[in-house]
């Protein structure tokens, strides 16, 4: 069983479109995250959810909105896609936010905006 | 502000030789340090962490890391490199002042030559 799964794996779309990326974890973890990895492999935290409550909201454009229907799912919705949104987006989860538990990452979604 | 630096973009090692991937950090308070590995087109995988206790931490795949408080370093090591160790390695530190998020280094590409 895949611990953290994301769909789709690849997403190619045009500027201005709206798209969603789904994430599910079957580890029973309380905290989930979204990261953006750019073409230079830099990792940037975008959001985290702890028990369905948004904990971190970095300086991310409000075109990006995380939605968590339950503790096992954290989806990422993106409105009005721009060229600069092209990147690999990773979902991750950890047992807890406060304790220093390791994070488990999904396989990533490669988003290409044309 | 908390920060982490990986001074080498790339490290080249011959198979069978020992390897070191460097990481230095800057935190206020006690550091909570992590190493992750990313294989091509995959998500990140946890290798090891330092929270407290022994300065030498052992992790997955034969890797270990040495915590050095006076030098504010947390270098990743392995006594004998394998070609399959070739990957991108990330050091991270917990930002206890900002919702416990991980602050990531820029990554070091490790190339093991047969």
* pLDDT one-digit tens code per residue, A35-87: 999 999 999 999 999 877 887 777 899 999 999 998 899 999 999 999 999 99
Contact residues for A14 (Cβ-Cβ < 8 A; gap 6+): A81, A113, A114
Residues of B in contact with A29 (CB under 8 A): none
Look at the alpha carbons of B26, B86, B40, A40 in this order and tell me if their dihedral is positive or negative: positive
Arithmetic mean of pLDDT over chain A: 92
Residues of B in contact with A90 (CB under 8 A): 43-44
Residues of A in contact with B104 (CB under 8 A): 42-44
Give the best residue of B42, B50, B53, B102 to mutate against chain A (max A CB count within 10 A). Answer: B102
Instruction: Report yes or no: A105 at the B interface, CB cutoff 8 Å.
Output: yes
Tell me which residue of B61, B49, B68 sits closest to B87, measured CA to CA: B61
Q: Measured between alpha carbons, how far is B89 from B61 in angstroms, rounded to an integer?
A: 13
* pLDDT one-digit tens code per residue, B10-64: 999 999 999 999 999 998 888 999 999 999 989 999 999 999 889 999 999 999 9
Residues of A in contact with B43 (CB under 8 A): 4, 90, 92, 105-108
Residues from B in contact with A at Cβ < 8 Å: 32, 34, 38, 41-46, 49, 51, 88, 90, 94, 98-102, 104, 106-107
| B90-100 mean pLDDT | 86
Residue of A nearest to B34 (CA): A102
* pLDDT one-digit tens code per residue, B49-90: 999 889 999 999 999 999 999 999 999 999 999 999 999 999
pLDDT at B41: 87
Q: Measured between alpha carbons, how far is B113 from B49 in angstroms, rounded to an integer?
A: 27
């Amino acid at each position: 069983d895949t611990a953290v799964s994301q769909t789709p794996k690849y997403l190619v779309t045009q500027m201005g479109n709206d798209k969603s990326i789904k994430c599910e974890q079957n580890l029973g973890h309380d905290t989930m995250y979204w990261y953006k990895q750019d073409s230079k492999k830099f990792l940037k935290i975008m959001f985290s959810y702890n028990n369905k409550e948004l904990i971190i909201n970095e300086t991310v454009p409000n075109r990006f909105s995380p939605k968590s229907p339950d503790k096992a799912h954290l989806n990422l919705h993106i409105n009005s896609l721009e060229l600069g949104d092209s990147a690999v987006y990773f979902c991750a989860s950890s047992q807890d936010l406060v304790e220093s538990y390791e994070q488990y990452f999904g396989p990533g979604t490669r988003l290409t905006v044309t | 502000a908390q920060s982490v630096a990986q001074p080498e973009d790339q490290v080249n090692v011959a198979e069978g030789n020992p390897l070191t991937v460097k990481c230095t950090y800057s935190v206020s308070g006690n550091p909570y340090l992590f190493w992750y590995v990313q294989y091509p087109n995959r998500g990140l995988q946890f290798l090891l962490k330092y929270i407290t206790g022994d300065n030498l931490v052992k992790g997955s795949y034969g890797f270990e890391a040495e915590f050095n408080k006076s030098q504010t370093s947390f270098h990743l090591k392995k006594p004998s490199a394998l070609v399959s160790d070739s990957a991108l390695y990330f050091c991270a530190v917990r930002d206890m002042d900002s919702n416990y998020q991980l602050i990531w280094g820029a990554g070091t590409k490790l190339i093991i030559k047969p």
